[in-house]
Amino acid sequence: MENHHRAFSFARVLAITANTLTELTRQKVFYVLLIFALLLIGSSIFMARLTFQQEFQILKDVSLGAMSIFTSLLAIVATARLIPQDIDDRTVYTILAKPVPRFEYVFGKLAAVLLLLAISTLVMSAMFLVVLHTREQTVLHETLRQMGAAPREQVNDALRAVRSAALSIDIFPGITIIYLKACLLAALTLFVSTFATTNIFTIVVMVFIYFIGHLQATAREYWLQEHGVGWMARLFLVLVALIFPDLQTFDLVDDIVAGAAIPLELFAKTAVLGISYTTFYALLAAFVFYGKEL
């Protein structure tokens, strides 16, 4: 019987992905979703004191902000331990002793984290939308009851005001960008973990990258536009801009919650940038992992 080995096998990647996802699930990472649910309930209790515009604004801010924090944290923490853990457990030797190319191993691992992030984002989005929709319906009923005798035009204006304060279609591109930002962070974490010795090191480096990524655009603008700086400082800022991703680019939800509409072009550009970053860091991780002595 001929033993046919293919250079790339989707089935092998899928097997690694499925195993890694099961392993991640067993580590109770989905408890994050429970915290998210508690946060939604907690903020709803406080918001009973506010008007419906304030309530919807804070509900959206808190939910989308929490979604951004949790997916970013999950991306970093879940990915940081994947390779070091496999090396500690010696699982990696068992896998790579079989005819599994190293890039398949890396891509399988990353795909599991991206899947985990997708599930988490979907569940959090569903919880958020259910709460928002329920509150919207309650406020609509209250408005109809209170304005029963008012002219039709005024009632329609009031209902329109409630609907526009609640769910906006722009929330969905916002959530997509939150997910893509988490994917970028996961791929970057995987890349860092290919040369890191411990997962603590990876997490610390990623926290620094997270802050630098968010601060670099503001710092660059502040120094380059408002202050004349020397060539050394300029060189430093250019290097920072070249090496680190500008994470502020992915912060669209602040403006979406404030009621701004996201043009399709801006969404597409940001999404393409996020996918490019994720692909690049995944390829880089595979490249470094190929040269790693195991």
Partner 1 sequence: MMRALLVIGLVLAFGVLKLPAERSISMQRRQLHFGGVELNLDLRGQIGQLGFVAALSGFRSIVADVLFIQAHVAWERTEWGRVLLLFRQVTTLQPRAILFWEMAAWHMAWNASVAAMNNRTQPRLALRIKAQREYFALGKDFLERGIKNNPERPQLYESLARLYKDKYQDHARASEFFAKAAAIPGAPGYDKRFSAYELSYCEGRERGAYQRLRQLYDAGENERLPTLIMRLKFLENKLDIAQDQRIPDPAP
User: Nearer to partner 1 by C-beta: 14 or 35?
Assistant: 35
Q: Minimum CB separation from partner 1 for residue 131, in Å?
A: 16
Rounded least distance, CB 175 to partner 1, Å: 14
Strand, helix or coil at 230? coil
Q: Which is nearer to partner 1, 144 or 207 (CB)?
A: 207
Inter-CA distances, 112 with 76, 78, 186, Å: 13, 10, 10
What is the closest distance, in whole angstroms, from the C-beta atom of residue 48 to partner 1 in the complex? 13
Q: How far is the CB of 38 from partner 1 (least distance, A)?
A: 16
**261: how many CB neighbours lie within 10 A of its CB?**
12
Question: Residue 110 CB, nearest distance to partner 1 (Å)?
Answer: 17
Q: For partner 1, give the closer residue by CB, 27 or 154.
A: 154
Answer yes or no: are the C-beta atoms of 78 and 113 closer than 8 Å. Answer: yes
Contacts 24+ apart (CB under 8 A), 56-59: 56/132, 56/135, 56/136, 56/165, 56/166, 57/165, 57/257, 59/131, 59/132, 59/135
**Choice between 14 and 294, CB closer to partner 1:** 294
H-state helical runs in the chain: 10-26, 31-47, 52-80, 82-89, 91-97, 102-146, 152-165, 171-195, 199-221, 231-243, 253-257, 264-291
Name the token pair of 18. Answer: 């499925």
If the CB atoms of residues 200 and 238 are measured against partner 1, the closer one turns out to be 238
For the CB of residue 10, give the shortest distance to partner 1 in the complex, in Å.
Answer: 26
The binding site for partner 1 (CB under 8 A) comprises 46, 49-50, 53-54, 57-58, 61-62, 64-65, 68-69, 151, 153-154, 157, 160, 210-211, 214-215, 217-218, 241-243, 245-255, 257-260, 263, 265-266, 269-270, 272-273, 276-277, 280, 284, 287-288, 291
- Residue 229 or 239 with smaller CB distance to partner 1: 239
